[in-house]
Amino acid sequence: MTKLCVFDFDSTLMDGETINEISAACGQKAAVSAITERAMAGELDFFEALTARVELLVGIPYPQVLSICHQLPLMPGAMETVRTLKQLGYKVVVFSGGFRQATAYFGEKLGVDAEFANILHHKDGFLTGKVGGEMMFNDSKGKMLQRLQQLLGISPEQTIAVGDGANDASMFPFAAKKVAFCAREILQKQANVVIQEKDLRLLLDYL
């Protein structure tokens, strides 16, 4: 029987937040990081927080964005964990409220089966401050997980969901293993597996 493991990207597969790193390029890291933290803690609507942060990125050269996205630090154990899951028969998928500019690159590097994220809009070589995509809302990940399970014929009993922030909670009703990885308290309260150490290989102990 096919099994499924869905990972969040920022602060789960990647050690940090992509948007925070990009924002440093225009001197807005403090402002963006503050909004990110409130959104991940569930204090702000995810869509409103996302659009407000992306607006602060307007004017950054797009090649610079790609360079930043391709140099992000992976979480310790990410490569080994994905490889082991695939050897055990899992489909491994990334759901990110961040950006395909990062997830597409690292999805290929990690060897995941698919990745779903948002896209930073750019025009004439610069970010426009606009964003679109399939992971824009608080409940986007849960809805996408249901669609993926239906498409692949995978039940919640054969599903693992791994994340760190409030927007990952919508996946948990559809996964037997609900993993809070170095997560905010709001997600830990809804998890049945809590990992506090930055080492994704610890997930393998719960399979």
Question: Does residue 124 have an active-site annotation?
Answer: no
CB 55 within 8 A of CB 46: no
Q: Which residues contact 37 (CB under 8 A, 6 or more apart)?
A: none
Question: Does residue 8 have an active-site annotation?
Answer: yes
Q: Which residues contact 191 (CB under 8 A, 6 or more apart)?
A: 172, 178, 179, 180, 183
Ramachandran assignment for 174, one of left (phi > 0), alpha (psi -120 to 50 degrees), beta (any other): alpha
CB 21 within 8 A of CB 72: yes
Helices (H), 98-205: 100-110, 140-152, 185-188
Phi, psi (rounded to 5 degrees) for 107 = -60, -40
The residue from 8, 124, 164, 205 that is catalytic is 8
d(CA 28, CA 203): 34
d(CA 25, CA 87): 39
CB 5 within 8 A of CB 85: yes
Catalytic (active-site) positions = 8, 10
